[in-house]
Chain A
Amino acid sequence: MKSAVIVFPGSNCDRDVAVALEQVTGRKPNMVWHKESDLPADTDFIALPGGFSYGDYLRSGAMAARSPIMRAVKEAAGRGVPLIGICNGFQVLTEAGLLPGALMRNAALSFVCRPVSLRVENSQSLFTAQYDSGETVVFPVAHHDGNYQADEATLDRLEGQGRVAFRYLDEVNGSARRIAGILNDAGNVLGLMPHPERVVEPAHGGTDGRRLFEGLLETVS
């Protein structure tokens, strides 16, 4: 698997994703600076990492979504290359129009930083194939703007098409229908607020995130 991790100014989970990917796939990902206009040839997986790109100026993810590299990322996603956006990466995906809806300030206004329980709602996607449908997993969250909102018609469509990948078991940030992660229409783009890359080895306190990357490895290579 030839993966690329996009690095924006203010990304701070880029190395976490890189370590997780290297551990699972045995190959170091290419770290691609946001000013680049092309992805390395034959990139077959792209990750937009967590962090606070551009200091969350204007809106979380707004500036990063308009970076030069995003043109190549959109083009690759359009060709079906798997693309994951974690935390700030999810915000970038909604701002870039690759996923519907928006991530707003947490309803309680406080930064939420703790492990949360999630239900795997769709175990058929290329990101979740190693999980059981309805299974509970624990991933950490660390965000201020994770309150997922979309209009009712969009939410109904996401639910109806099985595009809600992960749902919080308990109230975390005010997200509509407790949505934690969603897929695009084609199923090759996943955005989620919780951090699977922070639970890949026992020393992390859990390994529930590891199967997401293992599943990708199996599908992609």
Chain B
Amino acid sequence: MKARVFVTLKTGVLDPQGKAIHHALEGLGFSGVNDVRAGKLIELDLADGTTSSDIEDMCRKLLANTVIENFRIERLEDA
């Protein structure tokens, strides 16, 4: 089975990279962008039977730093 983990900065945490991307978009003439937040997508190829709580454990222990980041897990069964 496969799973995707989306790691994003918590609301209120300053995102300098998102800001830089925002400025670059404006520089290219895209004027309608209100805000940009950059995050990470991590794709996992997992042994069958890996539980959601196993994946959550991976997120808490390594994939996300829960001091500043949130994570969201998307399971792609039999994908």
Residues of A within 8 A of B (CB): 58-59, 62, 66, 94-95, 100-102, 104-109, 147, 149-150, 174
Contact = CB atoms under 8 A, between A and B. Distances in A.
Nearest to A105: B16
Contacts of A108: 16
Nearest to A150: B67
B65 A62 contact: yes
B65 A107 contact: no
B4 to A, nearest CB: 16
B63 interface: yes
B68 A102 contact: yes
Interface SS of chain A: loop
Interface in B1-41: 13-14, 16-17, 19-20
Contacts, number: 36
Contact of B62 (A66, A102, A106): A66
Contacts of B68: 102, 104, 149
Interface SS of chain B: helix
Contact of B67 (A66, A102, A109, A174): A102
A59 B40 CA distance: 11
Contact of B16 (A59, A95, A100, A174): A174
A190 B68 CA distance: 21
A93 to B, nearest CB: 12
Nearest to A94: B67
Contacts of A101: 67
A186 B18 CA distance: 37
B65 A174 contact: no
A105 B67 CA distance: 15
A101 B13 CA distance: 12
Given A104-B14, A150-B67, 7 more contacts: A59-B65, A104-B68, A106-B16, A107-B14, A109-B19, A147-B14, A149-B14
A147 B61 CA distance: 22
Interface string B47-67: 000000000000001110101
